[in-house]
Chain A
Amino acid sequence: MRQGRADEYAEFAAARAGHLYRSACLLTAGDTHLAEDLVQETFGRLYVRWGRVCRVGNPAGYAQTVLTRTFLAHQRRRSSRERATDVFPDLPGAVDGDAPLRLTLMAALARLPAKDRAVIVLRYWEDRSVEQTADVLNVSSAAVRTRCSRALGRLRELLGEDLAEYSRP
C-alpha cells in the first residue's frame, strides 16, 4: 500500500471502528467477542483491497456489506454444529443494572435466524432501504420484505407492541 493510501485506510478505520463494532454487536446479539473478531476480519479484508475499495467509492457502505457477509458466513459454518435459535435462554425477567433494554433486545435478537437479524440491523440500525438490504444479502427485495415482516412480528411478540418499558425515559 502506498503511504497516502495507508494513511487514508488508517483514517477510515479509526473513523468507522466504533460504528462497525456496534453493528457487529447487534448482528451477534450481544456476543462482543465475536463482534470484535468480525470487525477485525472486516478491517483485514478492507486492508487487502483498499485500493479497489477507494476507487469504487462509499467505503463505509462497503465495510458494512463485508461485515454483514462475514457474519453470515460465520453463522453458516456454525449452524452445521448447533442451532442457535434453540439454545438461547429465556428472556431476562426482572433485569437489574443500567441496561435492561440492551439485554432484553439482545435476547430477542438472538432468537431470530441470523439472516433475519441481518435484515433488522440493516433496515433499522443502518437505515438501508429494502433494495440496498437485498444487495448486501444477495437476495431479492421480495425476500427482504418477507424476512423483515416475519422478524418484526417475532420481535413484537418477544418485546411487546409498545417497547415502552425498554425505552429510555
Chain B
Amino acid sequence: MPENEHHDPFEDRLTAALRDAGDGFDTDMAALTAGGQVRGRRAQLLRRTAVIGGAAGIALVGVGGALLVPGGDSSANQRPAAAAARSASASPAPARAFSGDDLLRIFKELLPAGEFSEEAAQGTDSPTLPYARVVYDDSEGKAALGISFNRMEPGSPEARELTRCPAKALVAYDDCTSSRLSDGSLLMLYRGYEYPDRRADTKRWSAELVTAAGQHVSLSEWNAPAEKGAPVSRAEPPLSTGELKEIVTADVWRRVVDAIPRDSTPSPTGAPEAPPQGAAGETIGKTLAALLPDGLTVADRGGQETEYAYLVVDDGKGRSLVQINVQPDMSDVAHQLYGSAETLPDGTLVATRKGPGEKGAEGVVMWTADTMRPDGFRVVISAFNTGAQHEDATRDAPALTVEQMREIALSPKWEELR
C-alpha cells in the first residue's frame, strides 16, 4: 500500500481489486521470455557496433522502430543525392499487410528443401517490427534461421552503419564484405560468431540489406538450433553467403517493409520518441585525440556515425583501446547510472569504475570515467589493457588512468559538440 497522508479506504479496495484482477492474467511465460530475447538479439545485431562496452545509448524510446532507427542525424547531409531523390519520390502507398504466417510461408519457399520446426513470426500489422524465424534442417543438422524487417532513412548514417563491416578491433569474425548492388542497395555479407570471444563455437552468418528506398532486411543463420544456449549441431550454418544474398534480396521482402505502418517508425525529421541528436563519431574521436595526455600515439581509430568513437592508443608499452560515448539528454537514467556518484559544485555527476572487460577475454580490465552535466549531457570514457576488447590482455593496465579519463571527460571542449 502506498503511503498516504490522508488514508482513503477506496485506495485499499482498489489495491485489492487490482491484485485480484492482475493475478487472473496468465499466458505462456516461456514464449514471452523467448520472444523478448529474440527481439533483444535482433536489436543487438542492428546496433552491433553500438553495444561495445555497454556504454551505448540507453535513452528510452518508442517501441521497435524508434529503438533501432534513430531519427535525424547531424551528418545526414552526407546522404547521397540519388538516394535522397528516390526517397522523396517514394510515396507511402497503402500496402497489403503480411501476417506472420505469410512471412513464414514465403521464407520457407525461398529456402532450399528441408525440414522445418519451431516456427515463429510476427506480421506487419503488429505494433512491433515483423520477423520470421524457423529451425531448419537440410538433413545435416538443425540450424536456427531468422529474418527481420525494418524501414529506415535511405542513405542515412544508420543505413551505412548497418551495412558496413565492423572494425576488427571491435569484433572478431571470419570474413565480411560490404557492397553496393546495381539497384543502389547496400549489402553486407558477414560470417562471424555468436559470441565474439568464441567461448562457444556457435557461428552466426548474416546478410544485411538496405535498399535505396530504405527497406531494411536482416537475415541470420546459426550452426545451432538456437542463437544461444544450444549446442552446436553442425560445422557451419546451412546457407552459403551466395544463398544468403539471394534470399535477402528477394523482391517480396521489400513489399513486406512497405507494409509496416508508417507511424511505427520515426519520420526522417525525428518523431517525438526518437532519440535526440548526438555529435558525429568522427568529431568525438578528434576531440578525444586532442585531449589525450602527451606521450600517447593513436594507432587506430573508428566509431559510429553518432555518439560513439574509439581510439587505439600506444604509450610505448603496447596498445590500449579507449572508447567514448557522448550522449545528449540522458538525465532520465541518471539515478541509475550515478547512484553513488560524486557531485561537482556545478551539479555535474562523476562516477569512476574499475572492472573486468565485458567480452570475456583473458585478463582484460575496463576502467571507466562516467560524467553527466546537469542537463543530461553525458561523456563516458573507458580504457582497456588490450588493443581489441575481445582479445586477451597485452599489458597490465590501460594506457590512461581513471584520473586522466576523468579530466578528459570533464573538459569544457565537449561543450562544443552539443
Contact = CB atoms under 8 A, between A and B. Distances in A.
Contacts of A80: 263
Given A21-B25, A52-B54, A74 B10 contact: no
Contacts of B22: 22-23, 25-26, 125
B19 to A, nearest CB: 7
Interface of A: 1-3, 6, 9-10, 13-14, 17-18, 21-23, 25-26, 32, 34-49, 51-52, 55-57, 62, 65-66, 69-70, 73-74, 76-77, 80-81, 99, 101-102, 105-106, 120-121, 123-125, 127-130, 135, 138, 152, 155-156, 159, 161-164, 166-168
Q: Which of A13, A121, A138 has the most CB of B within 10 A?
A: A13
A125 B228 CA distance: 34
Given A17-B29, A129-B3, A167-B13, A47 B37 contact: yes
7 contacts: A43-B36, A47-B41, A48-B47, A51-B358, A52-B337, A77-B273, A124-B11
A20 to B, nearest CB: 8
A40 B339 contact: no
Q: Is the interface of A mostly helix, strand, loop or mixed?
A: helix
Contact of B199 (A3, A21, A52): A3
B244 interface: no
Contacts of B10: 152, 156, 161, 163
B9 to A, nearest CB: 9
Given A41-B128, A76-B272, A101 B263 contact: no
B21 interface: yes
Contacts of A135: 335
A157 to B, nearest CB: 11
Interface in B1-53: 1-3, 8, 10-11, 13-27, 29-30, 32-33, 35-44, 47, 51
B54 A138 contact: no
Interface string B320-345: 00000000000011011101000000
A155 to B, nearest CB: 7
A70 B332 CA distance: 14
B60 interface: yes
B51 A47 contact: no
Q: Is the interface of B mostly helix, strand, loop or mixed?
A: helix
Contacts, number: 192
B18 A124 contact: yes
Given A48-B51, A73-B273, A123-B2, A40 B35 contact: yes
Contacts of A25: 22, 25
Contacts of A57: 336, 339
A10 B112 CA distance: 33
Contacts of B47: 48
Interface size class of B (residues with CB under 8 A): 35 or more
B391 to A, nearest CB: 15
B64 interface: yes
B200 to A, nearest CB: 8
Contact of B35 (A22, A43, A101): A43
Interface string B257-291: 00000011000000111000000000000000000
B189 to A, nearest CB: 24
Nearest to B10: A156
Contact of B32 (A39, A70, A106): A39
B322 to A, nearest CB: 19
A37 B37 contact: no
Nearest to A77: B263
A123 B333 CA distance: 20
B230 interface: no
A74 B62 contact: yes
Contacts of A40: 32, 35-36, 39, 128
Contacts of A2: 197, 199, 358-360
